[in-house]
Amino acid sequence: MTMKMIKLSSCLIGVLVSALTWACTGIELKAKDGSFVNGRTVEFGEDLDLQGLVIPRNYQFKGILPDGTAGMAYSSKYAVVGASTFSGNVVVDGINEKGLSVGVFYFPGYAQYGTVTADNKERALSPTEFANWILTQFASVDEVKEGVKTVIITPAIPKGWRLVPPFHYVVYDKTGKSIVIEPLKGELTIYDNPLGVITNSPTFDWHLTNLSNYINLSPLSAATVNVDGVKIQQFGQGTGLHGLPGDFTPPSRFIRAAIFSSAAIPADNSLQAVLQAFHILNQFDIPVGSVRSHSDAGLVEEYTLATTVKDTSKVAYYFRLFNDPTIRRVSLSAYDLDSKETKIFSMKGVTPVIDVVQ
């Protein structure tokens, strides 16, 4: 694991947002043909008003500063497809035409953003814009590692958000490389992510260390043992994963994601890998009522709003919804990448019920 530190001034994001923790889980899979896909769940304690967004090349953006004035101005080098929140005009989960994908994940209690000064305001971005900037500017993980040295993330409140959202970020490219970017103690910390797994707090290096507590787990069932002439057999299959944590906390989800993705038998191609990723992510689906917390507004019930998978070789964005488990695909190649306007597609639906008549 390697780590780079980029110095920023500190601005701690408080724990007031903990009642609305975004309990997302991310994974990556490699197919037999060498292609890679990555997927994630999207959880929150309220509706994020998700909508699909296609950003063309050469589209103009301006960062938002905490006081509402304009920050960094930039133009999209690459076209992007993905999801935005609260009808915003930036993608917070998506993939660009070069197969680079980015996901925004909640990071409460740890995220610390930069302080705006006269010297840095022209390279300042809000927490949601940072992900959009990466998607529109870079073609590979290596480029991102170098590029993030030029910007800062400021504690600006994006459109629709009631508070400054505390985020960390996962980045994947078509070669399978992945990194996690975390704003810690006023600095951007970049971790190599060889497992392709991410959840939420605490820090990414802590999650990697915590894997050592589960080194005994295996997809192979335990063998029959003989104790003083008594044959002891398993009750059924699955004994190799006895002790696997099953709750929805970030540490437990990280362990399950690492085990399930690493144990997955490689699919033949990227489409099969996409479907396999959806099956694995079923393990992290939160039913309404299973995760609750109290806030000033009352009881908050967190659940899985959506699940998305990105095919980095075909440059396609797949998603399914809480109200409709039908898998939908949006291929970036279907759009005019040099259009002058962004395109919006619906991320709403109703579960179809099909009558079967013999």
Count how many residues are written for the chain.
358
User: Does residue 24 carry a catalytic annotation?
Assistant: yes
CATH superfamily label, 3-201+266-345: Penicillin V Acylase; Chain A (3.60.60.10)
Nearest to 44 by CA among 95, 89, 83: 83
Nearest to 127 by CA among 1, 54, 22: 22
DSSP state of 315: T
Query: What are the Cα distances from residue 102, in Å, to 54, 132, 168, 243, 326?
Result: 14, 8, 11, 32, 23
pLDDT beyond 60 at 9: no
- 3-state percent helix, strand, coil for the chain, nearest multiple of 5: 20, 35, 45
Amino acid identity, position 127: P
- The reported pTM is 0.91
Give the model confidence (pLDDT) of 106-139 as tens digits: 999 999 999 989 999 999 999 999 999 999 999 9
Give the model confidence (pLDDT) of 301-323 as tens digits: 778 899 999 999 999 999 999 99
DSSP state of 241: G
* pLDDT of 288: 82
pLDDT beyond 60 at 8: no
Domain ranges of the chain: 3-201+266-345
The sign of the dihedral angle between the CA atoms of 148, 174, 86, 21 is negative
Of 17, 24, 95, 181, which one is the catalytic site residue?
A: 24
CA distance 343 to 51: 10
